[in-house]
Structure 1
Amino acid sequence: MSVATTTSASTSSKLESGSGKAVATNPRGIPHAPFIANVEEHVGGPEGDAESTLKQFQEAIAKYQYMEVNLQQRKKGLLTKIPDIEKTLAMVQFLHDRRVGKSKSSQDDEDDLEAEEEDEEEGKKPLTATFELNDTLWAEATLEEESDSVYLWLGANVMLAYTQEEALALLSSKLSAARQNLANAVEDLEFLREQITIMEVNTARCYNWDVKRRREQRDKARLEGRSDEGEKEDGAS
């Protein structure tokens, strides 16, 4: 039996809006992406620097994508970890129920003595289990059912002995925490996809605004050039 207790680092990161103020975050500290309603105002006016704004947007997208990759790895690890804990918990519960059942059967009324003897004969059958030593080698062993101790792998080549009650409490706690972490990871991944989409929309709107501004500036310069040529011709005549 083994239990993985690996913990993943927090993926919280702080992003700042153009005004330098910290933005709101979700329950795990992932910042909301601000939607830029007025691009011209955000970049600093008609002559604002769109290139630096686009660079900031790209950096924000990269940070969100980095957090998304980390959360995907965390989710993958939890999807592997949870079944492992469930199997271990089921085994410890089985051993506990078997031991407790034997204890209770010994306290039954004498009127059921004959039935007890049949149950005892059934209960006296040794409990055997198969253990994986490596990928291709397995070993069969007989378990000491009278023992109240179980040994759990805690990771990093560490094994500790627990009573069955302690093991059940520990595994139940670990399973509950792992399921909650998985739910949080799924929720955060959905949240991150929304924030990435918002930043991509901001990037597209800023880029389109810059293209439109440049076109208008070229058209204005062209009209001013024609006007200057017309004035020169009028002066020459």
Structure 2
Amino acid sequence: MQVKNPRGIPQAPFIADVEDYLGLNKDVETALREIQGALAKYRYMEQNLAQRRKGLEDKVPDIKKTLSMVEFLQERREGKEKAPDADGDDLDDDLDDSAEDEKKPLRTTFELNDTLYAEAEIEDTDTVYLWLGANVMLSYKLPEAIALLRSKLEAAEASLKTVIEDLEFIREQITVMEVNTARVYNWDVKRRRELREKEALEGKKE
């Protein structure tokens, strides 16, 4: 039974005894073709996983930045809702500046293209629009957006961890198959040399 990792990637068998591996009916060229075929499959999986890893490593920071911004908007909105009434007698002077900051419009810059930015004033809102991929954008209330982004961040980080584990596993299997290739090739070179020496010795006896 072939051993596999948790994602079903097969473990490469190490050829400890080349002669036993070749058996009676398998020639060296056939064995080397089989090993090279398996090696090509591992390298193909490695390439795909490396691309996926790069995509996730780009995606995770983007989700974190979006989540941080939405959390900031939520905290700012909660601060406004909890701010004391300016006409009340219990207004604390120490909180006056922060309360005024909460009431000020939020100004920021947004990207128009790679080198051009524009300044904008963000109105107080309880809704944000999130890109979900495939040219799909949906509106969410701030708490819902935060929950969604946290879920997506957790899933992306878990996927990245899995991809890294699979990449390490596949690279180990590639090393094993490269060693197998060398062992079979060297065994064949040694066998051919011994055969030539035997034939030369028998020729001298004749």
Q: Tell me the TM-score normalised to structure 1 length.
A: 0.78
1:125-136 matched pairs, under 5 angstroms: 125-136=104-115
1:167-178 matched pairs, under 5 angstroms: 167-178=145-156
Give the Å deviation of 1:188.
1.6
Indicate if the aligned counterparts of 2:80 and 2:103 stay in contact, CA closer than 8 A: no
Gaps of 5+ in 2: none
Indicate the residue corresponding to 1:191 in structure 2: 169
Give the Å deviation of 1:48.
4.0
Indicate the residue corresponding to 2:160 in structure 1: 182
- Aligned equivalents of 2:99 and 2:170: distance in 1? 58
- Aligned equivalents of 1:118 and 1:190: distance in 2? 53
Residues 155-174 of structure 1 show CA distances to partners (whole Å, capped at 9, x for unaligned) of 23221101111110111111
- Aligned equivalents of 2:109 and 2:82: distance in 1? 28
The one of 212, 216, 220 equivalent to 2:190 is 212
Give the Å deviation of 1:41.
1.0
Cα distance change, pair 107–169 in 1 and its aligned pair in 2 (3 A):
farther
Gaps of 5+ in 1: 1-20, 230-237
1:13-162 matched pairs, under 5 angstroms: 23-45=2-24, 48-106=26-84, 112-115=90-93, 119-145=98-124, 147-162=125-140
User: What is the aligned residue count?
Assistant: 204
SS at match of 2:119: strand
- Considering Cα pairs closer than 8 Å and 6+ residues apart, tell me whether 1 or 2 has the greater RCO: 2
- Aligned equivalents of 1:212 and 1:63: distance in 2? 29
Give the Å deviation of 1:177.
1.3
Indicate if the aligned counterparts of 1:128 and 1:143 stay in contact, CA closer than 8 A: yes
SS at match of 2:16: coil
Give the Å deviation of 1:210.
0.9
What is the aligned-residue RMSD (CA, Å)? 2.1
Residues 54-101 of structure 1 show CA distances to partners (whole Å, capped at 9, x for unaligned) of 111111111111111111111111111111111100000000011111
Cα distance change, pair 102–222 in 1 and its aligned pair in 2 (3 A):
same
Give the Å deviation of 1:106.
4.4
Indicate the residue corresponding to 1:10 in structure 2: none
Residues 169-207 of structure 1 show CA distances to partners (whole Å, capped at 9, x for unaligned) of 111111111111222222222211211111111111111
Residues 125-159 of structure 1 show CA distances to partners (whole Å, capped at 9, x for unaligned) of 111121112113222222122x2100111223221
The one of 219, 223, 226 equivalent to 2:201 is 223
Indicate if the aligned counterparts of 1:40 and 1:48 stay in contact, CA closer than 8 A: no
Q: Tell me the TM-score normalised to structure 2 length.
A: 0.89
